[in-house]
């Protein structure tokens, strides 16, 4: 593919790139999203996403473009790169990628899957942080139910440091997800304060889905009613909740502890 040089932020390709970063509606309409940084781009490519165009700043990025020969390349000046870069320290490389649907039926699970389900979580930074924890814990999949944010939001990709591509991620309604989990014999554990037991008294060694909602309203009744068990984290201070990403990390690593031979709390 060809290589061209752009030195003006008014170039149509630069304008489109900026619009894709800012507008979820445009990302959906065009089926494109932007990934920034060598590490994030590498994870995206490893996950099988296809590249449309790579933007590089030769003053910053001096290596071969990783793993994507025969791709359209736009070289940009440092001034243009500073305009399009979403954050500092990304090594002078961005790319427009083709989006793809993320469906429940595409998920491939282990014999005792560990799944995290997020219902209507709004903040991209929280979603990204949960995805990082899911990656660290080796979770089979993350399912986003009734999403209130775009999975290809640049803030989410940035917060996840690319783990939105290293983990299997699906988007579905709560009803579809509940049916999917039940059909596979995966126990549903909802994180909530009401009618709940301590999380460390819950057996997470078998197929486990940890379900979490928004910090403001928690989970809807459909999940509370579908749960095999309600679980909670001890809160010893005056507040009654943790950030959803912190709660997710605690619960995920309890599952890891149990699966590595740790016993239930006496």
pLDDT of 266 above 60: no
One domain for residues 38 and 94: yes
Greater confidence (261 vs 57) lies with 57
266 domain-assigned: no
The whole-number average pLDDT for the span 164-184 is 96
Domains in the chain, number = 2
Final residue of a structural domain among 98, 125, 145 = 98
Final residue of a structural domain among 79, 98, 117 = 98
Q: In whole numbers, what is the pLDDT of the chain averaged over residues? A: 91
CATH number at residue 253: 3.40.1280.10
One domain for residues 80 and 110: no
CA-only gyration radius of the chain, Å? 20
What pLDDT does residue 193 have? Answer: 82
- What are the φ/ψ torsions at residue 141 (nearest 5 degrees)? -160, 160
SS3 content of the chain, % helix, strand, coil (to 5): 35, 25, 40
List all residues 6 or more positions away from 129 whose beta carbon is below 8 Å from its beta carbon: 159, 160, 245, 248
159 domain-assigned: yes
One domain for residues 67 and 109: no
265 domain-assigned: no
Answer yes or no: pTM beyond 0.85.
yes
One domain for residues 90 and 187: no
Exposure on the CB side of residue 167, measured as CA atoms within 13 A: 33
Q: How confident is the model at residue 182 (pLDDT cuts 50, 70, 90)?
A: very high
What pLDDT does residue 36 have? Answer: 93
140 with 109: CB under 8 angstroms? yes
What pLDDT does residue 202 have? Answer: 95
CATH number at residue 27: 3.30.1330.30
Alpha-carbon distance of 9 to 6, in angstroms, equals 8
What pLDDT does residue 69 have? Answer: 66
85 domain-assigned: yes
Q: How confident is the model at residue 238 (pLDDT cuts 50, 70, 90)?
A: confident
Task: Report helix, strand or coil for 63.
Answer: coil
Q: Inter-axis angle of helices 124-136 and 244-259, to 10 degrees?
A: 10
33 domain-assigned: yes
One domain for residues 41 and 62: yes
Specify which residues 76 forms β-bridges with: 6
pLDDT of 129 above 60: yes
pLDDT of 205 above 90: yes
Q: How confident is the model at residue 128 (pLDDT cuts 50, 70, 90)?
A: very high
What is the span of the domain harbouring residue 40?
Answer: 3-98
One domain for residues 78 and 191: no
What pLDDT does residue 246 have? Answer: 95
Greater confidence (215 vs 193) lies with 193
CA distances from 257 to 26, 65, 118, 133, 238 (A): 43, 40, 22, 14, 28
């Amino acid at each position: 593919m060809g290589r061209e040089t752009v030195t003006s932020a008014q170039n149509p390709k630069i304008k489109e790139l900026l619009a894709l970063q800012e507008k979820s509606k445009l990302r959906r309409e065009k089926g494109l999203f932007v990934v920034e940084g060598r590490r994030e781009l590498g994870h995206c490519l490893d996950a099988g996403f296809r590249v449309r165009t790579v933007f590089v700043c030769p003053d910053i990025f001096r290596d071969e473009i990783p793993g994507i020969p025969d791709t359209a390349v736009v070289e940009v000046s440092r001034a243009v790169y500073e305009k399009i870069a979403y954050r500092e320290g990304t090594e002078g490389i961005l790319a427009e990628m083709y989006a793809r649907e993320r469906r429940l039926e595409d998920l491939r699970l282990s014999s005792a899957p560990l799944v995290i389900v997020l219902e209507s979580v709004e903040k991209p930074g929280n979603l990204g942080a949960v995805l990082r924890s899911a990656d660290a814990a080796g979770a089979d999949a993350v399912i986003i139910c009734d999403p209130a944010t775009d999975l290809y939001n640049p803030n989410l990709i940035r917060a996840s440091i690319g783990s939105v591509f290293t983990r299997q991620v699906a988007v579905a309604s709560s009803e579809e997800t509940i049916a999917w989990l039940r059909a596979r014999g995966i126990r549903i554990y909802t994180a909530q304060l009401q009618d709940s037991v301590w999380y460390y008294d819950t057996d997470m060694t078998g197929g486990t889905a940890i379900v979490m909602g928004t910090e403001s309203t928690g989970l809807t009744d459909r999940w509370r009613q579908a749960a095999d068990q309600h679980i909670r984290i001890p809160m010893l201070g005056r507040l009654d909740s943790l950030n959803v990403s912190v709660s997710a990390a605690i619960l995920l690593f309890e599952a890891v502890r149990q699966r590595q031979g740790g016993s239930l709390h006496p």
